[in-house]
Chains A and B, each alone.
Chain A
Amino acid sequence: MADTYTGIVQDRRFTFFAIIGERSSNFFGHLGRYCALMWWMLRNIHNAKEYSRNIYQQMVTIGNDSIPIVVFVSAFVGMVTAVQSAYQLYDWIPRAVVGSLVVKSVLLELTPLMTALVLAGKVGATITAELGTMRVTEQIDALEALAFDSISYLITPRVLAGMLMFPVLIIFGDLVAILGGLIGSVAVANIPAESFITGMKNSFETWDAVFGIIKANFFGFTITSVACYQGYFVEGGSEGVGKATMRTVVLTCLAVVVMDFILASVLL
């Protein structure tokens, strides 16, 4: 960022400490602005009810429109988990264990994580591109000029919709993944359906499903809020929109895996 440069830094810009300093300054600058945006959103959350139509529209876009890809990914996640679990089992281990492994893996980790990574691309990139384009074509300025709070109008509905719909998508995904696991076990791994279902029932714990839904909530907030931040503060025309979209996908994927580890460490 040109504003943070001094003459000395410019001369030494390729030294190690200058680069670290610049990157740290950029990172903390962005982190501060992101936190300020979230604080503004929270402070004005009471405006959300006035934009309920926007929230509903975003729930349809984020939720309904994502069902096909979530179903597709979850089905294959379930199937490959079953097949690979069966492959790794020794002959003397009961085949019902495949059902246990599938349900545990899917509910605790695979469906929430894989769904979030896929939606980081689909939902995150879409939000950033939309808001970024609005920024560079002055539509956000136009909203402000019409006396709208652009953050309450544009960002709050998207973040709320993400937090509401990601858990719904994960629930869909869990069901489809378990069904996929059953199909994979029966059709590929030659495990009887009764064995799979017995193993599944023996291992199922309600907390596993709840944990996945809690993760989905955090992932939904992270992906939508980071995507909104990147789009809302875009600079540099259409090239800037492209770069911001790419940054959203990368940052949200990284944030999701880090958050996945933190939540597992804290809640399990």
Chain B
Amino acid sequence: MIRIHNIWKSFGDKQVLRGVSFDVVNKETTVVLGRSGGGKSVLLKMIIGLIKPDSGSIEVDGKDVAAMTYKELRALRFKFGFLFQGAALFDSMTVGENIALSLRRHTGWTEKEISEGLRYALHVVGLDNAEHIMPSSLSGGMKKRVGLARAIALTPRYILYDEPTTGLDMETADGINLLIKDLRTKLGITSIVVTHDIHSAFVVGDRFAVLENGVALMTGTRDQIQNSEDEEVRKYINSSLPMAEGHRS
């Protein structure tokens, strides 16, 4: 379980997160909704210790991430897969080498086993036989799929998604949404999805946290969020939904 408690973070004069708190339930997909530049990606990076909060705590399976040594952080990161916003593929390596990198380094597998592992990961994301392609030849959607294959290669317990559908056309975005749902259903993975795409959020999410100006306005299920009487939450949902529905009509 992941517990996020009273997180504050600023960069220079800009206060990005102000006392954000919510819990992530195991085997569910928690969506952090909010506008671009609202600190959602920063929060995600804090969970695996890439960024340290100014104050507050993030507990993963009972241990505070901010208090960990570097050795403990590296051990923690084995539990996580991370899909970055731009996929962050290593552009000097092929698709196969990107996925096999962590398998080679962190497992004692033979080359045959590594090959099978990477082919399985590519199969899960629907990109069979793509291992020899260079990232520069991939479309945006394919890059995200490869990024996801790399994230699940070590069968993590948690997956963090940073704006998984941003920059994708509707059809490709829907494909990614289905993948996210599939991974939860088939592999029982706990996910945190950070997005401003409210339509995708409601497709994949079980639980939601709405961030506005660095503050968690509300956490709850889809129905609780949509039927919320909080004025700020209603303002956010109403301003985002027509835009999302317009894109799909």
Q: Which residues of A contact B (CB under 8 A)?
A: 2-3, 50, 137-139, 141-149
Contact = CB atoms under 8 A, between A and B. Distances in A.
Interface in B100-149: 101-102, 105-106
Interface stretch (B19-27, B32-40, B75-83, B189-197): B75-83
Nearest to B14: A2
Nearest to A130: B92
Given A137-B88, A138-B85, A141-B50, A147 B74 contact: yes
Contacts of A148: 102, 105
B12 A147 contact: no
Contact of B88 (A2, A138, A149): A138
B85 A144 contact: no
B5 to A, nearest CB: 22
A144 B47 CA distance: 13
A149 B105 CA distance: 11
B200 to A, nearest CB: 21
Question: Can you list the 10 inter-chain pairs with the closest CB atoms, starting with the nearest?
Answer: A142-B88, A138-B88, A145-B82, A147-B77, A146-B102, A2-B12, A138-B84, A147-B74, A139-B88, A3-B12
A145 B85 contact: no
A147 B106 contact: yes
Given A2-B12, A141-B45, A147 B102 contact: yes
Interface of B: 12-13, 45, 48, 50, 70, 74-75, 77-78, 80-82, 84-86, 88-91, 101-102, 105-106, 150
Given A137-B88, A139-B90, A145 B12 contact: no
A51 B106 CA distance: 13
Contacts of B105: 50, 148
Contacts of A146: 77, 101-102, 150
B102 A141 contact: no
A87 B237 CA distance: 83
A144 B13 contact: no
B102 to A, nearest CB: 5
A142 B102 CA distance: 11
Given A147-B102, A147-B106, A142 B77 contact: no
B77 A145 contact: yes
Nearest to B153: A146
A142 B12 contact: no
Nearest to B45: A141
Contacts of B48: 144-145
Nearest to B90: A139
A137 B90 CA distance: 9
A142 B105 CA distance: 15
Contacts of B150: 142, 146
A50 B90 CA distance: 19
A142 B106 contact: no
Given A145-B50, A146-B102, A148-B105, A138 B77 contact: no
10 contacts: A137-B91, A138-B86, A138-B88, A142-B88, A144-B48, A145-B50, A145-B81, A145-B84, A147-B74, A149-B74
Nearest to B106: A147
A181 B91 CA distance: 44
Given A146-B77, A147-B78, A141 B101 contact: no
B194 to A, nearest CB: 14
Given A141-B88, A147-B77, A2 B13 contact: yes
Contacts of A139: 88-91
Nearest to A142: B88
Nearest to A4: B12
B80 A142 contact: no
Nearest to A53: B104
Contacts of B91: 137, 139
Contact of B84 (A3, A50, A142, A147): A142
A137 B136 CA distance: 13
A43 B78 CA distance: 23
Give the one of A3, A138, A141 with max B CB within 10 A: A138
Contact of A142 (B70, B74, B82): B82
B90 A142 contact: yes
Nearest to B101: A146
A212 B77 CA distance: 45
A153 to B, nearest CB: 9
Contact of B77 (A2, A50, A137, A144): A144
Contacts of B12: 2-3
Nearest to B81: A145
